[in-house]
Amino acid sequence: MATFLNLLIVGLATGAIYALIALGYTMVYGIIELINFAHGDIFTLGTFVTIAILSMLGVTAANPPSTMSWVLVSELALACIGSFLFCAVLGVLIERVAYRPLRNAPRLAPLISAIGVSLVLQDVGKLWFGNTNVSFVSLPIGSVQMGPVNVDVINIFVLVVAIILMAGLQLLVTRTRIGRAMRAVAQDRDAAALMGVNVNLIIGVTFFIGAGLAGAAAFIYSLKFPNTYFYLGFEQGLIAFTAAVLGGIGNLVGAMFGGLIIGLIYSLVTLIPATVLPHGGNAWNKAVIFAILILILVFRPSGLFGQNTPEKV
């Protein structure tokens, strides 16, 4: 039971990271109906920016801090803000250069452009930090005893930060003027423009927020996991995309719950013994995730929270 509960907490924390990445996919699809395949690679560069900022502040994997202090907390906060802003600005630039000129082109054109941007960003990451694993800083964060379960503090921190960001996004979209504009553009771009909405600005803001959330996810990923590499975003992006599809692509609440569900599945599959699956469930968790993606696309393409809607023209 203790092992199950611990995996449950780990799965929720991991799923919270997937949810933050999935929100970027679902926001962009909801407003311009594009699967932004470069989104995962923006996440990768966010992990690199986190490492670079901490290195400039003297916090490195080769010289990890021995104790937590307010100075270290402020340095981590700077790294988080820096990763968010870098990824957010990068997302806006990508939209302006690679997607906006193709907005009225056949649908295949922006899709190919997104794949091309993804490959470019992977090569940028490879040139920046090489093609080997890059270690994160190991922070002196312990664990707390919660009943029969020994919970790592970092998992609690990841969950709290992710929930705050997701709740803030939901409030932004549902309770603010810019959120109403985003929903109007997502529903009917031309009608929103006739009502005075600056469509280009709103689409840019959507990319800013979605890519920024990927940057925040990159920061908390760097606290929870040991290393990163230039290809990380492709793998994590596919899993996050599965979460977005599971919840209902274009649905923010669906992306949040989809990420948490995928994180739980990813974690709990490790309980399957080698007598059931060769080499145990840990060797099959990604296969299970992508099998779920295929099943969703076949039997319920609208996802758990999505609705079948007529195609926009």
Could you read off the pLDDT tens digit of each residue along the chain, which spans 313 residues? 677 788 888 899 999 999 999 999 999 998 888 889 999 999 999 999 999 999 998 888 888 887 888 888 899 999 999 999 999 999 999 999 999 999 888 888 999 999 999 999 999 999 999 888 998 888 877 777 777 777 888 888 889 999 999 999 999 999 999 999 999 998 888 899 998 899 999 999 999 999 999 999 999 999 888 899 998 998 899 999 989 988 888 888 889 999 999 999 888 888 877 777 777 777 888 888 888 888 888 888 888 886 554 455 4
Looking at the domain assignment, is residue 1 inside a domain?
A: no
Q: Are 300 and 258 in contact (CB under 8 A)?
A: no
Residue 172 token pair: 């932004």
CA distance 264 to 4: 11
Looking at the domain assignment, is residue 279 inside a domain?
A: no
Q: Are 230 and 44 in contact (CB under 8 A)?
A: yes
Looking at the domain assignment, is residue 104 inside a domain?
A: yes
Looking at the domain assignment, is residue 292 inside a domain?
A: no
Sign for the CA dihedral angle at 38, 42, 47, 49 comes to positive
Full-model pTM: 0.91
How many residues does this entry show for the chain?
313
Structural domain containing residue 141: 13-230
How many domains are contained in the chain? Answer: 1
CA distance 53 to 49: 6
Q: Are 230 and 125 in contact (CB under 8 A)?
A: yes
